[in-house]
Amino acid sequence: MSDSSMQLEELQLADFVEGIACAVARAQFALDRNSAALVKELAETEVLVHAPRVFVDETVDADGDPVARETRTVDAPFRTNLLSLGLRPTFYQFARTTIDVALDLSTVEEIEESDDKTVKRRKVLKVNTGRVQRERRYTRSVEAHSRLTIELVPVPPPAALTDLGSLRAGTTQRRDDS
């Protein structure tokens, strides 16, 4: 079985910074996708509801002002989905994320040989946390060298989702042009 979580000994500094920052972005994207999937699931889950529904029929004049209003109650079971019943998933957002990482630095000379046998030498900074981990393991130091602080807060769902009306009651308007 291959080990997909193999620890890398060294990374270029740019790779490291990009990796930790993009990990948070990926996590936020996953949270959003999870909430969106839950909205879809709620919309696709139908239930039979035994409850009276109140409908308001309104007649308006040419200016849009109501001239008549009639309320009727329909007392019969009806099918609707969970979203229409008012169930909403909780949307979360990484309000603030701080990642402090303690590192070992080393300079490595990278040698690139092109097809025409030209050799290009370049010094690059490599980082790793191997020694930090060994320190903790062998000297039993319990001091934390790296710290991740996450502030995850619930946020209101998108406005269009909030505005979805309940199917249990409704108002219809009819224009009176007589």
Partner 1 sequence: MSAPLPVLADAVREALERLLDRSDDFARAGLAIDRLEFAFGLDWQSDASLAVRAAADRDGVEPSTTIRVRLAARP
Question: And the tokens for 57?
Answer: 């029929």
Which residue among 42, 87, 97, 168 contacts partner 1 (CB under 8 A)? 97
Identified binder of partner 1 from the candidate list 124, 158, 170, 175, rule CB under 8 A: 124
- Is residue 102 within 8 A of residue 145, CB to CB? The reply is yes
Residue 47 found at the interface with partner 1 (CB under 8 A):
no
Closest CA to 129 of 162, 148, 103: 103
- Interface with partner 1 by CB under 8 A: which range of 38-46, 48-56, 62-70, 106-114? 106-114
Site for partner 1 in 22-41 (CB under 8 A): 22, 24-26, 28-29, 32
Would you count residue 98 as binding partner 1 (CB under 8 A)? Answer: yes
Rg of the chain, C-alpha, whole Å: 30
Identify any residues that bridge with 144 across adjacent strands, giving them in sequence order. Answer: none
Nearest CA to 123 out of 111, 137, 140, 139 is that of 111
Binding site for partner 1 (CB under 8 A): 12-18, 20-22, 24-26, 28-29, 32, 93-109, 123-125, 127, 129, 131-132, 134-135, 145
